[in-house]
Amino acid sequence: MKPPPFTYCDPESVDEAVALKSEYGNDSLVLAGGQSLLPMLNMRLARPEALIDINKIGDLQKIERRADILEVGAGVRQYELEDHPLVGELIPLLPEATGYIGHIENRHRGTVGGSLAHADSAAELPCTAVALDATVVVHGPSGTRTIAAQDFFQGRMTTALEPAEVLVAIRYPVTPWPAGHGFVEVSRRVGDLALAGATAVVNLDEDGRFTSVSVGVLGISDTPVRASAVESALIGEAPTEENIARAAKEIVPSVTSGDDLHATRAYRRHLASVVVSRAITAAVARAHERSNGK
């Protein structure tokens, strides 16, 4: 299949891209890696008047540390999160979670910003952004503004981006040493969209009790879910199997996805607590390893 006709634009700066977005508004779409957009065009699920290709904008393809923040440009390819030494050192959750995205071919074309802007609630990068308290940076006619990741995702494939704005970067707080991380997802086949998944970052005190817990869950609602009830249930507790399993059940009321071709709502409710429990358990194990210098 071929896409419907459109005007092709290839700006060389963010300001040029914003000017084009201002001109075409909701009748334009931004092309980065094209892993989601091109199939949508071919299937006539999207019919933009203009396609704005941002691949020539070098400023969107940088990974830089700024004090206690790691800034990742929207045009950075997903595989770079797996391979870049700064990412692995400062936010080790990201390489692990990124490895679950599709197949290696997808990750070599797909971009970080594209995944966030597409806002699929079953995708890995939106979920990790929410769990890591990341901030999304967007640029529009009025200048640059930042949006907390949890506020950026507003519904099924819906974000807080205004029609004339372009997503330019995402800022991740550096994970403090010796925090542990875990990422778990369940899918029917490797590379399929997840039926449910969870990510966790934990810190333990000298007695081995939880001092901080961050949990994000994907595939269970219209947006990635921050599991605040799970987090609260664990603070001050010992990381025993019983405590983790009990806290993980707090995610069940957040499962709002209904029955579909892939799973029933009841099965996703079961999966949600399972993946949350496994992600936290993996994070605890890594926290212990890092505390012991491994």
Give the C-alpha distances (Å, rounded to integers) separating 81 from 217, 257, 264, 265, 285.
Answer: 20, 29, 33, 32, 23
**Quick check: is 1 in a domain?**
no
Looking at the 3D structure of the chain, how many domains does it have?
A: 3
pLDDT confidence of residue 181: 98
**pLDDT at position 8:** 95
Of the ranges 86-100, 179-193, 213-227, which one carries the lowest mean pLDDT score? 179-193
Ramachandran sector of residue 208 (left: φ over 0; alpha: ψ -120 to 50; beta: rest): left
| Whole-angstrom distance, CA of residue 221 vs CA of residue 208 | 33
Q: In this structure, which long-range contacts are made by residues 43-46, counting pairs with CB atoms below 8 Å and at least 24 apart in sequence?
A: 43/1, 44/4
Q: 71 and 159, same structural domain?
A: yes
Q: Residue 144: which pLDDT band, with cuts at 50, 70 and 90?
A: very high
Q: How confident is the model at residue 260 (pLDDT cuts 50, 70, 90)?
A: confident
* pLDDT for 177: 87
- The percentage of residues in the chain with a pLDDT greater than 70, rounded to a whole number, is 99
Q: In this structure, are 105 and 42 located in the same domain? A: no
Examine the fold and report which residue of 173, 195, 230 is the final residue of a domain before the chain moves on. 173
Residue 206, class by beta-carbon neighbours within 10 Å (0-12 exposed, 13-18 middle, 19+ buried)? exposed
Q: At 291, is the pLDDT very low, low, confident or very high (cuts 50, 70, 90)?
A: confident
Contact 244/150 with Cβ under 8 angstroms?
Answer: no
Query: Is it the case that residue 20 has pLDDT exceeding 80?
Result: yes
134 plus 164 within the same structural domain: yes
Average pLDDT, the chain: 95
**Do 155 and 228 have their domain in common?**
no
CATH of the domain at 46: 3.30.43.10
**Is the model's pLDDT at 294 over the cut of 70?**
no
Token pair of 84 as six digits:
């870049």
Tell whether 126 and 160 lie within a shared domain. yes
- Residue 135's pLDDT is what? 99
Name which of 290, 98, 273 is nearest 175 in CA terms: 290
The residue among 115, 146, 173 that closes a domain is 173
Give percent above pLDDT 90 in the chain.
Answer: 85
State the angle between helix axes of 265-291 and 241-248 in degrees (0 to 180), rounded to the nearest 10. 140
Asked if the model's pLDDT at residue 293 lies above 90, the reply is no
Segment among 81-95, 181-195, 213-227 with least mean pLDDT: 181-195
CA distance 210 to 221: 27
Residue 262 lies in a domain: yes
**Per-residue buried b or exposed e for 16-28, using 16+ beta carbons within 10 Å of the residue's own CB:** bbbbbbeebeeeb
Q: Is residue 2 part of a domain?
A: no
In a domain, 44, yes or no: yes
> How many angstroms separate the Cα of 208 from the Cα of each of 58, 69, 91, 235, 286?
45, 27, 22, 11, 13
User: Whole domain around residue 43: which residue ranges?
Assistant: 7-53
What does pTM read for this prediction?
0.94
Residues 63 and 44 in one domain: no
What are the pLDDT digits (tens) for 81-111? 999 999 999 999 999 999 999 988 999 999 9
| 203 and 221 Cβ atoms separated by less than 8 Å | no
Please answer whether residues 236 and 212 qualify as being in contact, where contact means their C-beta atoms are separated by less than 8 angstroms: no
Reply yes or no: is the peptide bond before residue 178 cis, omega within 30 of 0: yes
259 is a domain residue: yes
Residues 37 and 64 in one domain: no
For residue 35, the model assigns a pLDDT of 87
Residues 106 and 11 in one domain: no
| 6 touches 24 (CB < 8 A) | no
Tell me which of 54-63, 210-219, 256-265 is least confident: 256-265
Q: Are 72 and 79 in contact (CB under 8 A)?
A: no
Query: Which pLDDT score, from 0 to 100, does residue 3 have?
Result: 86
CATH number of the domain to which 251 belongs: 3.30.390.50
Looking at residue 126, what DSSP letter applies? Answer: H
Please tell me whether residues 18 and 66 are part of one structural domain.
no
